Amino acid sequence: MKTEEIKPGIYWVGAIDWDVRNFHGYLTQRGTTYNAYLIIDEKVTLIDTVKPNFSDKLISRIKQIIDPSKIDYIVSNHVEMDHSGSIPEIMKYAPNATIITCPKGDTGLKAHFKEDWNFKIVKTGDSVSLGKRSLEFFLTPMVHWPDNMIAYMPEEKILFSNDSLGQHYASSARFDDECPLDIVMEEAKKYYANIVLPYGKQVQKELDAAATLDIKMIAPSHGVIWRSHIDKIIPLYQKWCQNEIEKKAVIVYDTMWKSTEIMANSVLEVFEEKGYKVSLRNLQHNHISDIMTELIDTEYICVGSPTLNSTMMPSVAGFLTYMSGLAPKGRKAISFGSYGWGGKTMAEINAFFEKSGFDIVASEKLKYIPGEEDLEIFKKTLSEAIN
């Protein structure tokens, strides 16, 4: 089992999860890694741990470098269990180690583990000497839990960014320049869309703090380490957290007897005629977490559903619930769908749009199977509603 020396005396000792495909509803089609970093200095320091069921991998990698009982500090940048879950295992080897965390991390770790370990509480601007090197801490609350923080090592110019700038991407390579860049960027975008999206303002504060630092390497807690493409990922984070949108439309729908699908294709035609980039996403064939990746820079979000048992299709309700939790802002929205009787589904879809603060520019339903004349009127209505 391989470790990787990312700088002299600083090692990646994490775990590669090749098989995970569901990360609380997020389709992790390329698996993920749980990155932990071991710093050999006067104070032997472990930055973050791994998911509990990968503890053996973490311990085994540490043992290749040093006896785990020699660990002095465990930096817990984030309480979520994919990073803190192996702290109890490490503490069995090093019961006198001190856990460095922020005030919310202290509360969270105690609530999770009910242990009276040694804690050192840090706040933004605090620096802890490890010997030849040091760590400076910046609290980054709600990127994406209240307890998040990041750590900067000025002597090596490394930012340990935890979840920020991560990707769910399992690879035997550790660095951004050892993997296909398009895949790394795609996974970084998907990660932002499905984890970080609700917290744009907080991300901006984190980027502002990072801009004051001389950074040559960014070591996140998932995916590859950035050393060659920092100049590409930081501007993308800036763009995403500033909610910059493009002339794009995403049409998301489900269908029973193809009537809503026929309407979805008409929506597609109207956007194409207006020069938009358009994606057509049938929820029977597309995962909601992949659709979210497309939504982070789209101007129009269009959602279609037939009426099933007096309500929308469960797949559409699931998508809308997921999307409204991730809270994309400042979008234009269109609802559409076929119905036989009743036809309250548009109001239900629109209620999600309203909750998200979207500007609803059109909401159209057609009875049973749309005829050519119905579709022409539908398209004309949409065409007039779209800028």
Nearer to ligand FEO, 78 or 365 (CB): 78
Tell me, yes or no, if 80 is annotated catalytic.
yes
Enter the DSSP assignment of 195.
I
Question: Out of 191, 192, 253, 339, which one is annotated catalytic?
Answer: 191
What are the distances in angstroms from CA 240 to CA 25, 46, 54, 192? 22, 31, 32, 8
| Helix H or strand E encompassing 336 | strand 332-339
Instruction: Mention every residue, 6+ apart, whose C-beta is less than 8 A from residue 288.
Output: 25, 318, 319, 322, 323
- Shortest Å distance, C-beta 163 to ligand FEO: 5
Query: Quick check: 163 binds ligand FEO (CB under 6 A)?
Result: yes
213: amino acid identity, one letter: L
Query: Quick check: 356 binds ligand FEO (CB under 6 A)?
Result: no
Separation CA 54–CA 90 (nearest Å): 12
List the interface residues with ligand FEO, window 101-160 (CB under 6 A): 144-145
Nearer to ligand FEO, 68 or 223 (CB): 223
- C-alpha atoms less than 13 angstroms from C-alpha of 307 in its C-beta half-sphere: 20
Query: In the beta sheet, which residues pair with residue 120?
Result: 100
List the interface residues with ligand FEO, window 215-274 (CB under 6 A): 221-222
Query: Quick check: 82 binds ligand FEO (CB under 6 A)?
Result: yes
Question: Out of 48, 80, 364, 374, which one is annotated catalytic?
Answer: 80
Query: Quick check: 78 binds ligand FEO (CB under 6 A)?
Result: yes
- Shortest Å distance, C-beta 150 to ligand FEO: 13
Tell me, yes or no, if 285 is annotated catalytic.
no
Nearer to ligand FEO, 205 or 379 (CB): 205
Query: Quick check: 35 binds ligand FEO (CB under 6 A)?
Result: no
Separation CA 137–CA 212 (nearest Å): 13
- Residue nearest to ligand FEO according to CB distances in the complex: 80
DSSP characters over 132-173: S-EEEEEE-TTSSSTT-EEEEETTTTEEEEETTT------S-
Question: Out of 17, 48, 82, 299, which one is annotated catalytic?
Answer: 82
- Shortest Å distance, C-beta 154 to ligand FEO: 25
Tell me, yes or no, if 229 is annotated catalytic.
no
- For binding to ligand FEO (CB under 6 A), which residues are involved? 78, 80, 82-83, 144-145, 163, 221-222
